[in-house]
Every structure is written in structure tokens, then in C-alpha cells.
Amino acid sequence: MAHRPERTFRQRRAESSDSDSTQEPFAEPGSPGEQANLGPAEEGLPSGGGRAEAAELPRRARGRSRGRVWASSRHAARAAPRLDGGSDVPGDAGQQGACPGQQESRAVDLSTDEEDETHRSSESKDDQSSSSNSSSSLEEEFTSLVWIHFISCPIAVARTAKTMLNRSVNIPDAAFIQAAYRKRELARAQEDYISLDVKHAFTISGMKKNTEYPESETDDHENIIPFTTKPQTLRQKMAEKTATRNEETSEDSEEDKKYQDIWEQQQMRKAVKITKGRDIDLSHSSKSQTVKKFDASISFPPVNLEIIKKQLNTRLTLLQDTHRSHLREYEKYIQDVKSSKSTIQNLENSSNQVLNFKFYKSMKVYVENLIDCLNKKIINIQEIESAMHALLVKQAMIFTKRRQDELKHESAYLQQLSRKAETSTNRSLAIDEKTQWILEEIESRRARRRQARVLSGNCTHQEGTSSDDELSSADMIDFQKSQGDILEDHKKIFEDVHDDFCNIQNILLKFQQWREKFPDSYYEAFISLCIPKLLNPLIRFQLIDWNPLKFDSIGLKQMPWFTSIAEFIDSSMEDSKKDDSSDKKILSTVISKIIIPRLTDFVEFIWDPLSTSQTTNLITQSRMILEEHSTCENEVISKGKQDLLKPIASRMKKAIDDDVFIPLYPKSAVENRMSPHSKFQERQFWSGLKLFHNILLWNELLPEDTLQELGLGKLLNRYLIIALLNAIPGPDVVKKCNQIAACLPEKWFQNSAMRTSIPQLENFIQFLLQSARKLSTSEIRDEVKEIILILVKIKALNHAESFIEEYHLDHLKSVIKEV
């Protein structure tokens, strides 16, 4: 009988899923144990059709295994018990642990093949019950199982064989199998069945030709007549169940996956633990072997005293070199220690560095405390500053509104009086109480001013040139009380602060010490740019009660902050070796950033251009500020100057539009100099002339074109000349013309080559010539000379000569020659 060639299997350590200690040893194929367990199965295999059938079964098993990849571990566990008819076999668990990568597909395929073979065996028993028995069916089942497991997994072969032997199954020998084949052949010879003439040729390589059974011989289960519908195989049943089970198991898929992951992790941990154990065992065994074994065949080189001496000398040389290097390092460290000690001593002895550090540290602390103090006090300063400004604005608005209201009511009363005079001779006129009270108030104030002028001896005053800025006793008391409260709060701002932090002179003294001791660091820190910002709150604090419109207000140069800054700059010029010291710009910066904005607020909201005293004081303060600006010319200063002069021009233009009103009445109404119409017209003319004078006082500060546009173009030609044309020629008109000419700046007529006056005075010149013609025909000839002198003063020489030639006034030619 032909024997299969021996197949060697690599020894593996199988591990049960239930217990790590359950391990079954496997012998090599040639070992006695394996021959005893597997010998009967191998020897009982037939060489003819039986081998062909046995060869066909592994191919079927492999074909089925490819289609079962989707099977999960749970399905494999359910199909595995079918191997032994439903009993639990411990070897299956070991088989799962031994082949974890193939257990799902192989377990299902194994159970499927077993059921197919069982089905075939049952059909064979029905056809030939007389020639088949239980032992032959077990023989075929065992043979197919042995070949399936033999091909799929060597460990499964051993475990399956062991399981079948443990169950005490009688495995048929070769003689029993041959007898079964003979009975099958006799049955075919008797023809007691219907032949289907279906032949399946099974060939196996290596099969011998001298076998007892022909190659064309087929198995009984292949010639079975299908009288009924062939029952479904296990594969078909599982396919049907799978279609219906997919819906049922969809909810359990996540749980199955979870169990599968847990199982794989357990198997991996076990495999790693076994591998580590093997490595440890191998390492211990290798070490023990290396320690215990000693190869006496190894020969060592010969040893003599020269070699030993040479090695010792080499070793000694290396040690000496190392010692010398350590000595060098030690000496270096000693030198470093000495150098560090000397440096420390030098630093301790050098008091200058310590003093410098102390100075810088004290200066830093001082500046931080100063800034902290000013940040807290600036809020109070702003509140008091705003309160004082609001009080002055309120007072100025009272004066302006009262003047405009009185002008409106008095003008309305005179118009009503004129209409009443034209319609009837009855002088009684109904006046409302408010207008009557305003008129009485106006006359009472005028009477008080006349009385004051008489007591002072001023008899040349003209009605209408007064500022009319008197307050009632009640209003004056309220104003003084409010101002006193503000000043009391003003004094309390720095009462809890040391002089070093609120006195400008003491603050500048600190920075002066810095500049004297360390000028380089002083200028590198740009202290000249920081000082104006530090002094801003303190200067504003001193300016709270400063009113540049008052006659008795302190001058800018007499203020404490101004003198302190000036002294600081002078000392800087002495100490500094540079001519362009940055400290020079401190004062101009303070003026540009603090004084000019403060003065601009007074111009826009408080200044009354009709007040000559306010205008004179404002001009004085502005001229002083602009003179300080001229000492240091730069873009910032020119911008500050423009910021001051532009609001002045705007405020005067607004005064011309709002406050100038000269009414025109019939000559019959103004012929009587004591009539109300004549008095009102005279007061308004002199009020306009006063504004004209106040505007031209700015001739040295404002540009000429601005002054000529405001004073000559808007005020003289639009209001004053018209009023003069409506007046009766006489000494009063000449007097008014002299006052107008006296207001004109002499700077405009300093050019000796001028023969004609400026263009804006042409209307005034024509009015003078017209008045001179009217007066020359009358008895009043002295006023003609006054008119000629006015023309000569304003450089209208051509007009004066032509008038003298026209009217043959040869005695006045000497006046022109004197010029």
C-alpha cells in the first residue's frame, strides 16, 4: 500500500482561551506518539477511489473557506460543536487559540463539510443499507475530517485525531475497507439499481497503476438517483439564513465588533507574554550555558614580564597625563576665584557706581510718584477749571444778551414813536411793561456812568462809547460768591501734597541735578520733551484764576511757573556745551500746548470786542506770548500763532455782524439834537466807531489785509460812511471824520512816495471832498482846513491838491508842502 510522504510541522505552543496553563504537546510526525494516534487512519486509506475522494474533500474545504471570510468569531463558535455531534470538546478551544488567524473560516468550513458528508452518508445508507453500516460511515467521516484538518492546520489534525480517539471510535483498518469495496463491486454486478451512466474521473498524481480498483470506479454517493428534490446543503441554508439574519443582527453588530476587539486584544497580550517568557528563558539558558561551559581548546597568548611592564608603564603614563590636566584646571579655578574676589572688592570700594545707581533709582522712584500724584489730581484740576470757565462764560453771555435785547427794544420803541408822530400829533404812546422797565433800566445805568465821569473829571466822553458791563448788586454778589467757592476748592487741591511734587521750581531742580551730574543720559532720555507734559497740570492749576481780559490780571512773565522755567533754561545754557540745547524749547512748547489754548477759549467765548479795556488787555497778553514765540521759530510755534490769531479775527467779524446797528431816520427827526432819534443814532454811531478803533488796535499782530477787510471794508464803508452821509454837514461831521482818521494805523501811510491812499479808503476820501465843498460855500471855513489835513494824513495828496486848485485855497498849499 502506498504511504503518504511524511510531513513535518513546526512545533507551536497552543494556548486555550479559557486557561493559559492548558497546553498540549505535539510530537514530530515521525515520533512514536504521532504514529500511534494517526497511524490507523493513514494506513486505512485506500489507494483507488478512496484516495480520489479523500483528495476531493480538501479541495472542497478550501473552496468553502474562501467564501466564509465574512463569518465572525461568534458564528465560528456556534458551528464548531457540530464536529462531534453537539458535545463540548476541549480540543476546539485549544484549536482556536493555536490558529487565531484562521479560526473563523476554518471552524465554519469544518462544520459545513461534516454536515455535507453526514448528509451524503445518510443517502448512501438508504440506497445500500445491506452493504453499509455505522462503522463504514464513521470511517468515511473520519477520513474526510483527517484530510481537511491535515491541509488546513496541522494542529487541528492532532486535536481532531485526539478527540476521536478519546470518544472510543472504532477506526476500520485496511482489510475492512477492501472488504467494503468488494461488496460494493458485487452489488454493481448484480445490477440491482438503476445506472445513471455518470462518470467522474478522479486522478491523483503519484497514484500507482497496479491498484486493485480501476481508476474509473466511482463512489456510491455519486450514483444516487434523486427521486425527490435534493435537500439544501448547509451552504445554501446559511446563505438563506444570512439574508434574513442581517436585519436581526444589525443591532448586535456594534456589540459583536466590541467583543471581537476585546478577544483580539486578549490574544495579543497572551502572545506577547509567551514571547517575553521565551526570550527570558532563552537568555537565562544561554547565560547558564556560557557560564557552565568552558572550552579548554582555546589557547591564550604567552605572558612574560616585559609585556606586563610595558602595559603598566602605559597605564602609568595615562594616569600622569590625567593628573597634570587636573592640576591645570585646578590652577585655573584658583585664578578665577582670585579674580572674582578682586572684582567684588573693587566694586565695593567704588562708591561712584553705588552713588550713580542710588541716584538713578531715587530719580525713578521720584518720577513714578510724581506721575501718580498728578494722575490723581488732574481730575480735580479739570473740574475746577471747567467751573471757572463756565462762570466767566455765563457772565459774558449775560452782558451780550442784555445789550442785544436793549438795542432791540429801544429801536422798536423809536420806530413806534416815529410812526405815531407821522400819523397824529398826540405824543402819548402805549408801551408794554417789559419795554418800559428795560428803558428805565438803561437810563438809570447811563445816569450812574455820567455821574461817575463828572466825579472823575472826564468831560470829553461821548455817549455810546461805554462798554455797559455793569452788573446789578444781586448779580454781582452771586458772581463773587461762586467765584470765591471755586477758588476755595482750588486751594484745597494740593494742600495734602509735598512741595517736591506740586512746586514747579522744586520739580525742575530735580531734573537740573540730573542734567548737571549726568548730561549724556539726561539728553539721551529727551527730558526736554517730558518736562512740558509733567508741568501741564501744575501750570493749569496756576492759571485757574487768571483772566487776561481784566486790567489788573497778572502778566505772563510775572507768573511763578514762567520764572521757574526761564531760570531752568538759563542754567541749561550755562551748563550745556551745545548752542542748540533742547531745553530752549521748553518754554515755547508750554506756551503752545497750554497758554495759547487757554487764551483761545477766552477769545471765543468771553472776550467782548466792543470793550476797549478787554481788547487792550488781550492785545498785551497776546503780544507777550507772540514775542516769546519769536525767540524760537519752528513749525509748532507758527501753528500756535495761527491758532491764536484766527479766532481773534473770527470773533471781531461776528461782533460786526451782531452788534453794529446804526439806524437812519429822516432829517426832520434828527435835526433836533435832543430828540430820542438823534441821541440813539449818535450812540450807535459812536459804538460802531469804538469797535472800529478796537479792531485797528490789532495792527501789529494781525495781517494788514485782514484788518483792512474787517475795519475798512465791513465796518467803515458799510456802516460809518452811510451814517455820515445821512448827517448834517458841520463841525460834528468833521469831528467824526477826525476820529476815524485817528484810528487808522500810521504804518499804512509811512511810504513817502505815496500820492494816493489805499483803495479801501476811496469812499471816505470822496465823503471828505463832498463835505469840504459844502463847507467852503458856507461861513464855516475852518473845518475845510481840517478836511485838507485829514486828506494829507491818509496820503490822498492828489485829491487835496486838486481841491485847493479848484477852490483857490492858496493859503493851504503850505500844508501839503510840509508833508
DSSP per-residue letters across 259-286: HHHHHHHHHHHHHHHHHHHHHHHHHHHH
Read off the pLDDT of residues 36-75 as tens digits, 9 standing for 90 and up. Answer: 343 333 333 334 444 434 344 434 434 444 343 333 333 4
* Number of separate domains in the chain: 3
519 occurs within a structural domain: no
Nearby residues of 267 by Cβ (< 8 Å), 6 or more positions away? 17, 97, 100
Do 664 and 812 belong together in one domain? yes
Most confident of 202-216, 591-605, 748-762, 771-785: 591-605
Give a yes or no: residue 551 inside a domain.
Answer: no
The average pLDDT across 600-625 equals 93
- CA dist 15 and 38 (Å) reads 22
pLDDT in tens, 681-721: 999 999 999 999 999 999 989 999 999 999 999 999 999 99
pLDDT per position as a tens digit, 424-465: 555 555 677 778 888 888 888 888 887 877 787 776 777 777
Residue of 702, 786, 800, 708 lying closest to 748 (CA atoms): 708
| 705 belongs to a structural domain | yes
Average pLDDT over residues 769-787: 82
Residue 428's pLDDT is what? 55
Q: Domain check: are 667 and 808 in the same one?
A: yes
In this predicted structure, the answer to whether residue 251 has a pLDDT above a threshold of 80 is: no
Task: Give me the pLDDT at residue 331, please.
Answer: 95
807-817 average pLDDT score: 78
Based on the fold, state whether residues 411 and 319 are members of the same structural domain. Answer: no
322 shares a domain with 434: no
Q: Are residues 411 and 316 in the same domain?
A: no
- 778 and 716 fall within a common domain: yes
C-alpha grid cell, residue 348: 565695593
Place of cell 521748553: 586
Report phi then psi at 27, rounded to 5: -95, 165
Whats the size of the chain, residue-wise? 819
Residues 694 and 768 in one domain: yes
Q: What angle do CA 123, 128, 132 make, to 5 degrees?
A: 90
Among candidate residues 463, 497, 531, the one where a domain is terminated: 497
Q: How far, rounded to the nearest angstrom, does the alpha carbon of residue 370 sit from its chain's CA centroid?
A: 32
Tell me, yes or no, whether 398 lies in a domain: yes
Three-state secondary structure along 192-254?
CCCCCCCCCCCCCCCCCCCCCCCCCCCCHHHCCCCCCCCCCCHHHHHHHHHHHHHHHCCCCHH
Do 693 and 808 belong together in one domain?
yes
| Exposure on the CB side of residue 90, measured as CA atoms within 13 A | 11
Instruction: Quickly tell me which residue has 476815524 as its cell.
Output: 740
The predicted structure's pLDDT at residue 52: 38
Q: Average pLDDT, stretch 788-796?
A: 90
Confidence band for 92, pLDDT divided at 50, 70 and 90: very low
User: Are 336 and 413 in the same domain?
Assistant: no
Final residue before a domain boundary, out of 497, 532, 552: 497
% of the chain exceeding 90 in pLDDT = 34
The alpha carbon of residue 371 and the mean position of all alpha carbons in its chain are separated, in whole angstroms, by 28
Neighbours of 587 (CB within 10 A): 21
359 burial level (CB within 10 Å; 0-12, 13-18, 19+)? middle
CB 756 within 8 A of CB 779: no
In a domain, 389, yes or no: yes
Q: What is the pLDDT of residue 754?
A: 79
What pLDDT is stored for residue 159 in this prediction? Answer: 58
What value does the mean pLDDT take over residues 375-398? 95
- Per-residue pLDDT band at 184 (split at 50, 70, 90): confident
Of 529, 517, 599, 531, which Cα lies nearest the Cα of 561?
531
Q: Do 683 and 786 fall within a single domain?
A: yes
pLDDT higher for 563 or 253?
563
Same domain, yes or no: 396 and 314: no
| pLDDT of the residue at 629 | 65
Neighbours of 516 (CB within 10 A): 12
How many other C-beta atoms lie within 10 A of the C-beta of residue 159? 23
Q: Give the mean pLDDT of 328-337.
A: 95
- What does the pLDDT read at residue 100? 36
Domain region containing 746 = 660-818
**Rounded Cα–Cα distance for residues 776 and 785 (Å):** 10
Q: Is the pLDDT of residue 212 over 50?
A: no
DSSP code string of 62-77: HHHHHTTTT--HHHHH
> Tell me, what DSSP letter sits at residue 457?
T
Check residues 557 and 283 and name the one with the higher pLDDT.
557
Residue written as grid cell 423809536:
414
Q: Compute the distance between CA of residue 727 and CA of residue 717 in angstroms, rounded to an integer.
A: 15
Residue 421: is its pLDDT beyond 90? no
Task: Indicate whether 218 belongs to any domain.
Answer: no
Q: What is the DSSP string of 298-322?
A: --PPP--HHHHHHHHHHHHHHHHHH
**Greater confidence, 426 or 584?**
584
Mean pLDDT in the chain? Answer: 74
Q: Is the pLDDT of residue 299 over 60?
A: yes
**Among the three residues 455, 478, 497, which one is the final residue of a domain in this structure?**
497
Give yes or no for residue 408 having a pLDDT over 80.
Answer: yes
What mean pLDDT comes out for the span 802-811? 84
Does residue 795 fall inside a structural domain? yes
Q: How far is CA 65 from CA 99, 156, 401, in A?
A: 14, 15, 114
Cell of 42: 493513514
H/E stretch holding 438:
helix 433-456
Residue 513's pLDDT is: 92
Note the pLDDT tens digit of each residue in 721-775. 999 998 888 889 999 999 999 999 988 988 877 778 899 999 999 999 999 888 8
pLDDT of residue 40: 35
What element of type H or E holds 738?
helix 731-743
- My answer on whether 338 and 451 are in the same domain is no
CB-CB contact of 548 with 602 (8 Å): yes
Model confidence pLDDT, tens digit, residues 634-691 = 555 577 788 889 999 999 999 999 999 999 888 888 888 888 888 899 999 999 999 9
In a domain, 665, yes or no: yes
pLDDT at 738: 93
Cβ 143 vs Cβ 172: under 8 Å:
no
